[in-house]
Amino acid sequence: MNAVPACGCAVPGAVDPATCYCSVEDLLRILRRRYSLAVMRVIHARPEAHYRHISAGVPEISSSTLAETLRALEAARLLTRDLDPTGHPLYSLSASGSKLLSRLRGLLEDVQTR
């Protein structure tokens, strides 16, 4: 039996967008992954990052977990994957990924000052 989301819709986006938070739940599921924000932070600090740069920036992450995390962030359109001139993957934050980090930073600062 499938659970009905908190917004009450059985199909994401089937109700008023002002009250349906299914897509937010999907995004939060990706962000709650153990290393998602750490990976995004590394890519933000180095706007065009190779896999080895990201791995070095988050040394505790396994290779398989890093690969899964990169795929999930790319699927969520929070980062982009291009190829450098030698054909190696090069990761960058998308406009949405940059905006998300900026808004999270602002939210964190707002919460910490209260």
Q: Is 31 a member of any domain?
A: yes
What is the pLDDT confidence band of residue 25, given thresholds at 50, 70 and 90?
confident
H helix intervals, the chain: 22-31, 36-45, 51-57, 63-75, 95-112
Q: Residue 114: its pLDDT value, please?
A: 64
Q: Is 35 a member of any domain?
A: yes
Q: Is 43 a member of any domain?
A: yes
Q: Residue 1: its pLDDT value, please?
A: 44
Lowest mean pLDDT, pick from 7-16, 25-34, 102-111: 7-16
Q: Residue 69: its pLDDT value, please?
A: 95
Q: Is 40 a member of any domain?
A: yes
Q: Which domain holds residue 84?
A: 22-112
Q: Residue 55: its pLDDT value, please?
A: 96
Q: Is 3 a member of any domain?
A: no
Q: Is 14 a member of any domain?
A: no
Q: Residue 9: its pLDDT value, please?
A: 63
What single DSSP character describes residue 2?
A: P
- Total-model pTM: 0.76
Domain count, the chain: 1
Q: Is 36 a member of any domain?
A: yes
Identify the residue whose tokens are 């190779």.
Answer: 50
Residue 80's DSSP bridge partners are 92
Q: Is 2 a member of any domain?
A: no
CATH of the domain at 108: 1.10.10.10
- The 10s digit of each residue's pLDDT in 30-61 is 888 889 999 999 999 987 899 999 999 999 99
| Cα gap 37→48, rounded to integer Å | 16
